[in-house]
Amino acid sequence: MRRLQIKELKTYFHIDGEIIPAVDGVSFHIDRGEILAIVGESGSGKSITALSIMGLIKSPGKIEGGEILFNDTNLLDYKEKQMRQIRGNKISMVYQEPMSSLNPMIRIGDQVAEVLIIHKKMSKAEAKKQAIEVMEAVGIQDAGRRYNDYPAQFSGGMRQRIMIAMAIVCHPELIIADEPTTALDVTIQAEILELLKGLIKQNSMSMLLITHDLGVVAETADRVCVMYCGKIMEESSKAGLFKNPLNPYTQGLIQCIPRIDDKAEVLYTIGGNVPHPTDFPKGCRFSTRCPKVMEKCIAELPPLMAVEENHSVRCWLYDKE
């Protein structure tokens, strides 16, 4: 069953008379119990996609078109009051920097319990009891005592666990994790990813994982969408993407991953720069940096083409006509 289905989503920003197509006709789906990763460089539109789903796009941004179907209901038809009932309750978000998301002046436990009080109408005593249980579930030792601590008394990894506790405390159907391990060292990162995977499986949730780190994708995701300049460039199962990357951009990203057996003195980089969003190429968005560029790539934007079962790519190299 489709938990979430995005159809031709367009989120544009209108700044100084210019239009910035941050998300430009993006489509994908997430099934129940599935983890879908969206990967790409900074500025590719990953986080704007997440904020669009949550209904958090503010002026000068605007969703210009498309559909966001959550359990077959278009969230774009919802008023703000209805979306407040969805956020944190049916769809939760884990942000990359917990210190900017947690209130430094409010005790940690009260911040977790507040979600239950708002969405589940629990009493303070009931909410506290359940908050402590969820804090224990995400690995906060001695949660009953630490309930009264403030964010500054926790390490970065523990604060991220609190963010996950806040995200899952209402048993949402979908979690959106936006770079959830970026600020953490690799040991803590692995613990957080294992925790998220376990919670998804245990509670039959689905997850949209947003990251620029292909190592995180390899560790966590079931399927992957590669995004560049507001477009999906490739969509595949995780195994298919790493075994047989088709788009030259995806191939470049994978080549950029350092390997312990690589004896090259200089690490591989993708040449050129990401084009400015007010000046995207007429054709393929990657044409200004692609080592396999053809005349057709410069003149015309390729569609997302199905090349194999469950594997699609936006590239003229695979045009069968």
Q: For the segment 10-28, what is each residue's pLDDT rounded down to a tens digit? A: 999 999 999 999 999 999 9
Give the residues across from 228 on adjacent strands: 231
| Mean pLDDT score of the chain | 92
Percentage, residues of the chain above pLDDT 90: 75
Q: Is residue 88 part of a domain?
A: no
Tens of pLDDT along 169-215?
A: 999 999 999 988 877 788 888 888 888 898 888 888 999 999 988 98
Let me know if residue 308 belongs to a domain. yes
Burial label for 1, CB within 10 Å (0-12, 13-18, 19+), is exposed
Which residue range is the domain that position 265 belongs to?
234-321
First to last CA, the chain: 33
Q: Are strands 91-94 and 174-178 parallel, antiparallel or unpaired?
A: parallel
pLDDT digits (tens, 9 = 90+) for 148-171: 999 999 998 899 899 999 999 999
pLDDT of residue 195: 86
Does the residue 75 lie in any domain? no
Q: Is position 150 within any domain?
A: no
User: What six digits make up the tokens of 30?
Assistant: 């997430």
Domain count along the chain = 1
Cis peptide before 104 (omega within 30 of 0): no
Residue 76 lies in a domain: no
Asked, for residue 172, whether it belongs to a domain, the answer is no
Q: Is residue 55 part of a domain?
A: no
Is residue 239 a part of any domain in this protein?
yes
Amino acid letter, residue 228? Y
- Is residue 321's pLDDT more than 70? no
